[in-house]
Structure 1
């Protein structure tokens, strides 16, 4: 088994959450990295959708934004943004929304708006984009981000994207709404909402990670499942394909010509 970083562990674990044939609405950054790794490995028929209107896109490199030309060039088709949201997302055609965030709290609420007080924020963030609609209308939501007390806070400073609300009950009794967040994948562990309280619970530890590390990196009193699993390590194939994807992405965005790869990750 090759050596791997905690970031690679996170990306591979997040990629494995996607099943072949799923339709996935993809966020830029870590979710895009995981979704495209899934497409290049175990899920060649996963349908990736980006907010700009690209359907079944197969980018050769990781996009810098939803407006990256490679998304459109490699898509089956591109539709208008209103059609993307009204027909595909609100129409119930998206199985999974894959999101990142700046802050997440114990009830899976996401903050990408600001840090600090609303009237006088310390930091202004990019905003919600399509994430609030994705979290509302996709069948379920996966979230991936690095684990620290800065990102995992007891209560987010601003609820940009609804998880389960401030008390875990925001989705109760609401018709025509998706299941919401079903798993959170970090560089330390995998978490899932408790079926009753909706508070995040650690269900799997990545290899070499201790409970103490997770407690130290979480901004609330985190709970652990009675039976903790151990997250499977990345395979050599997954690591090779991920590293090749990131390397040609770096070359491409630095102005060099990217290599052409098939969906299996082999040089075309």
Structure 2
């Protein structure tokens, strides 16, 4: 098995999932949803974080499905090989008690402070698109120590002002989470898109660029955001996934539920 780089075969989804996996640490816990978050969690377990504990919103803890990826978070196979068969309120209470380090989130819109909208596009009185809603996202955003947001980036998604405030990031700046009764030192940690990886400034709590994928420019970052994104002076390019990494990732999703069939 070669470890040479495979730039021609890595897709945007491959890059995003592997980047998300590398943001996770060994011997920590992570709230995963089905799809890309679950792939990222399992990939991390099979590479650099074998002790990572996966927690499903549906109540499963430590489950590692063997047949295929679950389609949704309450599917029975999320309990396979797990340590606890719990309930949704039980795993949410674990986050509230501070036992879950990482949480995965997504949304239709995000602002400069990592606040998310997954409820509607338009206004409450004149809704253009009705979205799934919080679905536990507000709980994860509120109580996990570090949240990783996976979403595609363009001007319609990276917005100055959310159409609806579903899940909290840093509200409007430093100290705002604490003012709203949320635990200190929690909040958005990384935003991972098809362009690169973002963090948040310690001083302003605004989104800032940390890494770009090869072939993406700083101009691409600003052209695909409706708000100004800070640029870390030490930003860097992310190495392309290796052939070995891609093989591991696609073996996890052998049936192509998330990545599609090759």
TM superposition shift of 1:233: 2.1
Q: Which residue of 1 aligns with 2:120?
A: 114
Q: State the Cα deviation string for residues 3-31 of structure 1 (Å, max 9, x = none).
A: 31222111111111111111001123322
Cα distance per residue 1:57-111 (max 9 Å; x no partner): 112332211112210233222112222222x111111111111222111110011
Alignment of 1:28-67 (within 5 A): 28-60=34-66, 61-67=68-74
Give the whole-Å Cα distance in 1 for the aligned partners of 2:189 and 2:51.
Answer: 22
With structure 1 as the length reference, what TM-score do the two structures score?
Answer: 0.87
Conservation of the 8 A alpha-carbon contact between 1:28 and 1:65: yes
User: Which one of the candidate residues 144, 155, 161 is aligned to 1:138?
Assistant: 144
Contact 2:110–2:116, Cα closer than 8 Å, also in 1: yes
Structure 2 residue matching 1:64: 3-state secondary structure: coil
Measure, in 1, the Cα distance between the counterparts of 2:244 and 2:203. Answer: 38
> How many equivalent residue pairs?
252
Secondary structure of the residue aligned to 2:121 is: strand
Task: From the superposition, tell whether residues 219 and 28 of structure 1 become closer, same or farther in structure 2 (CA, over 3 Å).
Answer: farther
Separation in 1, partners of 2:70, 2:210? 31
Q: Which moved more, 1:177-186 or 1:165-174?
A: 165-174
5+ long unaligned stretches in structure 1: 255-268
- Where in structure 2 are there 5+ consecutive unaligned residues? none
Inter-partner Cα distance in structure 2 for 1:175 and 1:216? 33
Aligned-residue CA RMSD (Å): 2.1
1:150 CA displacement: 2.2
Match of 2:253, SS state, is: helix
Counterpart of 1:96?
A: 102
TM-score (norm 2): 0.89
* Cα deviation, residue 227, structure 1: 2.1
Aligned to 1:240: 247
Q: Does 1:128 align with 2:143?
A: no
Stretches of 4+ aligned residues off by more than 3 angstroms: 166-169, 172-178
Counterpart Cα distance in 1 of 2:36 and 2:183? 28
Deviates more, 1:226-235 or 1:51-60: 226-235
Preserved contact between residue 149 and residue 217 of structure 1 (Cα < 8 Å): yes
Name the CA distance, whole Å, in 2 between partners of 1:18 and 1:204: 16
1:197 is aligned, of 186, 196, 204, to 204
CA–CA distance in 2 between the matches of 1:137 and 1:207? 34
Pick from 64, 75, 88: which aligns with 2:82?
75
Q: Describe the superposition over 1:151-200 as per-residue Cα deviations: whole angstroms up to 9, x where unpaired.
A: 21122111110001145552145463451001111111111111111110
Contact 2:63–2:79 (Cα < 8 Å) also in 1: yes
| Counterpart residue number, 1:184 | 191
